[in-house]
Structure 1
Amino acid sequence: MLLKEEAQVPQSPDDLDAVAVRTWCSLALEALGAEREEIDAINVYPVADGDTGTNLFLTMESAAQALEAVFAAHATVVGPPPSVPLLSDAVRAMAHGALIGARGNSGTILSQLLRGMSEELAQDLAHAESADGADLRRALRRAASSAYRAVAHPVEGTVLTVATAAADAAAGTTAAEAARAAYDGARRALAETTGQLAALGRAGVVDAGGRGLVAVLGALVEALTGEAVASRPRVPHGLLVDDCSTDHADEGGPAFEVIYLLEADDASVDRLRARLDSLGDSLVVVGGDGLWNVHVHVDDAGAAVEAGVEAGRPYRIRITHFGADRVAPPRERVQRAVVAVVPGEGLRELCAAAGATTVLARPGEPPASGELVDAIRRAHAREVVLLPNDADLRHPAAAAAQQVRTEGVRVALIPTRAAVQGIAALAVHEPERRFDEDVVAMTSAAGATRYAELAVAERQSWTMAGVCQAGDVLGLIDGDVAVIGTDVAATARTVLDRMLSAGGELVTLVLGEGVPDGLAEALESHVRKRHLAVDTVIYAGGRQASMLLIGIE
Structure 2
Amino acid sequence: LMQVLKGAYEAFLGKEIDWTVTETAAPAGAPFAGSQETVLEESDIKFGYCTEFIIMLSKTFNIKQEMDFKAYLESIGDSIVVVADDDVVKVHVHTNDPGLAIQKALKYGALSNMKIDNMRLEHHEKVVKMAQKEQQEAAAAAPAEKKAAAFIAVSVGEGINAILKDLGVDYIIEGGQTMNPSTEDVLNAIEKVNAETVYVLPNNKNIILAANQAKYMTEDKKIVVIPTKTIAQGITAVINYVPDLSPEENEAAMTEAIETVRTGEVTYAVRDTVIDDHEIHQGDYMGIGDAGILAVGQAIETVTKDMIDSMMDEDMELISIYYGQETKEEDAAALRDKVAEKYPACDVELQYGGQPIYYYIVSAE
Do structure 1's residue 253 and structure 2's residue 41 form an aligned pair? no
Query: Structure 1 residues 326 and 527 mapped into 2: Cα distance closer, same or farther (>3 Å)?
Result: closer
Query: Structure 1 residues 365 and 435 mapped into 2: Cα distance closer, same or farther (>3 Å)?
Result: closer
What's the secondary structure of 1:514's corresponding residue? coil
Partner of residue 544 from structure 1, selected from 339, 348, 356: 356
How far, CA to CA, are the matches of 2:37 and 2:251 in structure 1? 44
Query: Structure 1 residues 254 and 392 mapped into 2: Cα distance closer, same or farther (>3 Å)?
Result: farther
User: For each residue in 1:362-389, what CA deviation from the matched residue of structure 2 results, as whole angstroms up to 9, or x when unmatched?
Assistant: 2146222111112122221100111000
Deviates more, 1:372-381 or 1:453-462: 372-381
Which amino acid is the alignment partner of residue 352 of structure 1?
Answer: K
What's the secondary structure of 2:189's corresponding residue? helix
- Written as runs of structure 1 = structure 2, the 5 A alignment for 1:213-228 is none
What corresponds to 1:342 in structure 2?
A: 155
Q: Cα distance, 1:550 vs. partner?
A: 0.8
Quick check: 1:454–1:476 contact (8 Å CA) kept in 2? yes
What corresponds to 1:88 in structure 2?
A: none
Do structure 1's residue 388 and structure 2's residue 202 form an aligned pair? yes
- Written as runs of structure 1 = structure 2, the 5 A alignment for 1:263-412 is 324=137, 328-356=141-169, 357-364=171-178, 366-404=180-218, 406=219, 408-412=220-224
How far, CA to CA, are the matches of 1:370 and 1:323 in structure 2? 25
Do structure 1's residue 434 and structure 2's residue 246 form an aligned pair? yes
What's the secondary structure of 1:392's corresponding residue? coil
> What TM-score, normalized to structure 1?
0.41
What's the secondary structure of 1:471's corresponding residue? coil
Query: Structure 1 residues 494 and 321 mapped into 2: Cα distance closer, same or farther (>3 Å)?
Result: farther
**Structure in which a larger fraction of residues adopt strand:** 2
Task: State how many pairs are aligned.
Answer: 240
What corresponds to 1:525 in structure 2?
A: 337
User: For each residue in 1:13-36, what CA deviation from the matched residue of structure 2 results, as whole angstroms up to 9, or x when unmatched?
Assistant: xxxxxxxxxxxxxxxxxxxxxxxx
User: For each residue in 1:502-543, what CA deviation from the matched residue of structure 2 results, as whole angstroms up to 9, or x when unmatched?
Assistant: 531101111101114533323322332222311111221114
- Written as runs of structure 1 = structure 2, the 5 A alignment for 1:53-92 is none
- Written as runs of structure 1 = structure 2, the 5 A alignment for 1:454-473 is 454-473=266-285
Quick check: 2:179–2:204 contact (8 Å CA) kept in 1? no
Query: Structure 1 residues 323 and 537 mapped into 2: Cα distance closer, same or farther (>3 Å)?
Result: closer
For structure 1, the residue ranges without an aligned partner over 5 or more in a row are 1-248, 256-319
Asked which structure has the greater CA Rg, the reply is: 2
User: For each residue in 1:351-407, what CA deviation from the matched residue of structure 2 results, as whole angstroms up to 9, or x when unmatched?
Assistant: 112220211222146222111112122221100111000111122111122222x2x
**Structure in which a larger fraction of residues adopt helix:** 1
Task: Quote the RMSD (CA, aligned, Å).
Answer: 2.7
User: For each residue in 1:154-204, what CA deviation from the matched residue of structure 2 results, as whole angstroms up to 9, or x when unmatched?
Assistant: xxxxxxxxxxxxxxxxxxxxxxxxxxxxxxxxxxxxxxxxxxxxxxxxxxx
How far, CA to CA, are the matches of 2:216 and 2:275 in structure 1? 35
Quick check: 1:340–1:422 contact (8 Å CA) kept in 2? yes
What corresponds to 1:230 in structure 2?
A: none
What's the secondary structure of 2:199's corresponding residue? strand
What corresponds to 1:99 in structure 2?
A: none
Query: Structure 1 residues 479 and 390 mapped into 2: Cα distance closer, same or farther (>3 Å)?
Result: farther
Query: Structure 1 residues 484 and 327 mapped into 2: Cα distance closer, same or farther (>3 Å)?
Result: closer
What's the secondary structure of 2:207's corresponding residue? helix
Q: Cα distance, 1:252 vs. partner?
A: 4.7
For structure 2, the residue ranges without an aligned partner over 5 or more in a row are 1-31, 39-132
